Amino acid sequence: MAILRTEAIVLKQFDLGEADKIITFFTKDYGKIRAVAKGVRKSKSSISGIVLPFNYNLITIYRGKSIDRINQIRNIFTFNKVREDLIKMAYASFVAEAVEKVSQENQANEALFALLLSTLHKIMVEEEKLPYIELVFKISLLVVLGLKPQLDYCVSCNKKLAYAEKNYFHVQQGGLICPECYQDNQEDFRFQGYILSVQMVESLKKIINNGFKGLRDWEGTEREYRQLDQLSDAFIKYHLELKIKSYDFLHMIKKLGET
């Protein structure tokens, strides 16, 4: 029987039978893995606290024919502080569900693993505003999945772009289009496009190239942030076709915070 050993973050869990749970992990070396945690719902289980969502563990898995089984599990870091705070939990649930939806079983993506771990840390310590952390996560998610928005060359005619007061971001085509292509596609752009200032293009570039570090020198306004947030949502919706249930919950939590 094959045995795997890897670092793993708990994405979700659900009950199986009387005493067991199935845990979905995102692992560093094998991508998404689902494995049974035997007897975890019995009162004397020593691992029930370890398999809670977001926890960062070292796991040993027995590969079964139909389903994998957890052999050993040791906690590296617990995200209690995230789970104990409803707002942080809403953000982290969205992040975990997004990773669950975009990842494949047995297909490693170390950059995605690193992004998940660093985003959970960012949510926990909250040095930056939570919505900004969410924005960087969404844009970085596109980058690690090979869907980086193109900002240097026109996505339509491939001409090198010179940024102007108005820059035309075409969601469906995957990046900026030049003024000439914009003139030719105005009707189409109305439904797919965002007009970005040079400042916003630069902010987007910083996030694409430097992730959370790119946020440190964010100089945009709240309005610009919102526009980039809408743009990233539209981009993810079109190119990844994601429907994330926790995102509705996160929106509800955000609305409650505004009132």
Residue ranges binding Zn ion (CB under 5 A) = 154, 156-157, 178, 181
- CA dist 168 and 183 (Å) reads 10
Question: Quick one: 175 or 211, whose CB is closer to Zn ion?
Answer: 175
- Closer by beta carbon to Zn ion, 33 or else 155: 155
For 103, other C-beta atoms within 10 Å of its C-beta total: 21
Distance of CA 106 to the CA centre of its chain: 19
The least distance separating Zn ion from the CB of residue 239, rounded to whole angstroms, comes to 20
Encoding tokens for residue 210? 């430097």
In the complex with Zn ion, which residue's Cβ is closer, 127 or 180? 180
Burial (CB count within 10 angstroms: exposed 0-12, middle 13-18, buried 19+), residue 140? buried
Question: Could you tell me if 62 and 3 are in contact, meaning their C-beta atoms sit under 8 angstroms apart?
Answer: yes
Nearest approach, Cβ of 216 to Zn ion (angstroms)?
A: 33
Contact in structure between 39 and 14 (CB atoms under 8 Å): no
CB-CB contact of 60 with 4 (8 Å): yes
Minimum CB–partner distance for residue 190 and Zn ion (Å) = 17
CB of 201 vs Zn ion, minimal distance in Å: 15
Which residue do the tokens 């771990």 mark?
A: 117
Query: Which is closer to Zn ion, CB of 116 or CB of 177?
Result: 177
Structure tokens at 125: 């310590």
Q: Which is nearer to Zn ion, 140 or 156 (CB)?
A: 156
Min CB(240)–Zn ion separation in Å: 25
Residue number, 103 or 156, with CB nearest to Zn ion: 156
Angle separating helix axes 222-240 and 198-210, nearest 10 degrees: 60
Q: Least distance from C-beta 192 to Zn ion, angstroms?
A: 15
Residue type, 230: Q
Phi, psi of 174 (to 5 degrees): 95, 20
